[in-house]
Amino acid sequence: MLEDPLARMREQAARSQPAVRAAAMLRIARVQTAVDRGRARITFEMALEEARRLAGRDRDALLEQARWVAAAVAPELLETIPAGRNGSHEQFNSEMLVRIMLDHGQMDAVFEYVTCHGDPSTFPFRHAGNLMLLLEDAGRRVEVLRCAVQAWRGSWEDGFLWLFSSQWKVLPEEEAREVMREIVQVTLRLPDSPMTATYDEGELRITSTREHTLFQVWHVVLRLDGQLARSLIARYEQLAAAVRRYPKGMDSIREEGEERRKKSGDSCVGGVVMSGSGRDLNSMRALLQASKDGDFGPPIEHALESYEEDTAVDSPNEAPKAFWPSTGSFRSIFYSAGKRLGREAEIYLDRVPDDDLRLFAQIELAAALAGLPELQGLWQQYRPRRGGGSPRGSVRGGMLGGEEPFRSPDGALVRCPRCSASPNARERWVCRCGHVWNTFHTRGLCPACRYQWEVTGCHRCGEESPHDEWYGAS
């Protein structure tokens, strides 16, 4: 059923400009994997060659996207595609490659990628844990965790803590004890720094990075070295307070969460809360609602507003068209519409005002119809600044309440310049790359992709302001 639509998409791509043609063919190749993997490989290699013939910004962006598509279509080709020039993105790209391979069932390829990963600073700790959960062979799970341990020893990356604290039992007990003690030793040796972590609906607060790290691995320390556990709570007051509330540390938190889920009868507790500018919030809410009721007109209206910005005469987006925010919006809309409405989603295609963006939307609709997972893409904006303003971006995140004014790690009071509301340590923003964190812990710098957010949205009033204006006196 997909052969004819894919053939028409290929024909339209062939008539497009080179950068659009390469981007479309990359995505078409992914959809073809649901029909004919051999043909998908051929299409991908054609698109890759097209991308390599480009120059400058177009070439760099498309080759980076080609690595993501290769992870889905032909992971063995990854080593032939150069990584992006911006090395600060490599940690994020590494995680994304593993996630994409997992989503597309490339288990052998992702196992090889993780266990042969040569750069400790870009080891995909987060998704290595997901890989371990999916691996059926116990020996392979042990090998992944041992590789992660070696990478941590060469990088001291915080991402290792979650992986070890959740998967430590796969190791022989003595080996796990050795790693646990090493984590504690490193934590005690490194300089402490201020931070704020709250639990128990804000009743429990930890303001020391060192003590919070110890709390994160407390359940392992308690199980493997009782004497060390006793010495730590005798030495660290905040850790001791946390342990009084959660005697088994993270295990206690997980057990309480599971008990709440059983009592509520739901598979999860809580809901989705988003943050960003008022327009971005409305756009995301509209797409969520459309996925429930099947009316995709409202999110399309928001995507059209984004398209007007990308094509503004006085300040057009000079990034490759495949990476415009409006392109990303239309892709997400038509993927969601395909999942919800099936082929009936085609009735909305006439509302896409640009032939190239319509082609990109059709490809994602076909991906949904083929039962493939959604493949995210990077959004890029290159435009002259208007009136001294900063580039805009959308953010999403979870919002939890708090009462005390929040301070950044360097002690500065943080308040919204528009409504004077103060966020708290548990509020989260989501970068365009998907990383979730508290933006005020890093003064707007995403720890994953190193993107510097110059504008930050308020969870309370929904307005956005220059990030630097959020900080007041210490």
CA 401 – CA 406 distance, rounded (Å): 11
Better-scored residue on pLDDT, 199 or 232? 232
pLDDT at 281: 61
pLDDT at 377: 78
The H or E element containing residue 340 is helix 325-341
User: If we measure between CA atoms, which residue out of 313, 315, 311 comes closest to residue 353?
Assistant: 311
Other C-beta atoms closer than 10 Å to the C-beta of 17 total 12
- DSSP string covering 13-64: HHTS-HHHHHHHHHHHHHHHTTT-HHHHHHHHHHHHHHHHT--HHHHHHHHH
pLDDT at 8: 94
CA 12 – CA 44 distance, rounded (Å): 16
Residue 474 scores a pLDDT above 80: no
pLDDT at 264: 64
Query: Which tokens go with 174?
Result: 């003595």
CA 103 – CA 374 distance, rounded (Å): 9
> What average pLDDT does range 102-128 have in this prediction?
93
Q: How confident is the model at residue 460 (pLDDT cuts 50, 70, 90)?
A: low
Report pTM. Answer: 0.76
Q: Which residue has the tokens 């288990």?
A: 107
CA 57 – CA 65 distance, rounded (Å): 12
Q: How far is CA 153 from the centre of its chain?
A: 24
pLDDT at 273: 38
Domain boundaries of the chain, sorted by first residue: 1-85, 278-369, 386-474
What number of residues does the chain have? Answer: 474
Helix (H, G, I), strand (E, B) or coil at 459: coil
pLDDT at 390: 39
pLDDT at 147: 97
Contact 44, 70 (CB under 8 A): yes
> What average pLDDT does range 300-313 have in this prediction?
94
List, in order, residues 6 or more apart from 27 with CB less than 8 Å away.
69, 360, 363, 364, 367, 375
Mean pLDDT for the chain?
Answer: 84
pLDDT at 455: 80
Which DSSP letter does residue 471 get? B
Q: Which segment of 154-158, 182-186, 192-196, 422-426 scores lowest on mean pLDDT? A: 422-426
pLDDT at 383: 61
CA 218 – CA 161 distance, rounded (Å): 11
Q: How confident is the model at residue 468 (pLDDT cuts 50, 70, 90)?
A: confident
The tens digit of pLDDT for each residue in 209-252 reads 899 999 999 999 999 999 999 999 999 999 999 999 999 998 99
Strands, E, within 179-234: which ranges? 194-199, 204-208
pLDDT at 329: 93
Better-scored residue on pLDDT, 106 or 466? 106
Residue 25 scores a pLDDT above 60: yes
Q: How confident is the model at residue 265 (pLDDT cuts 50, 70, 90)?
A: low
Contact 296, 336 (CB under 8 A): yes
Residue 356 scores a pLDDT above 90: yes
pLDDT at 471: 82
Q: Which segment of 80-89, 153-162, 234-243, 335-344 scores lowest on mean pLDDT? A: 80-89
Give me the percent of the chain exceeding a pLDDT of 90.
57
The tens digit of pLDDT for each residue in 369-423 reads 999 999 987 777 776 544 444 333 333 332 223 345 567 766 678 888 877 777 8
Better-scored residue on pLDDT, 158 or 147? 147
Contact 412, 472 (CB under 8 A): yes
Contact 419, 432 (CB under 8 A): no
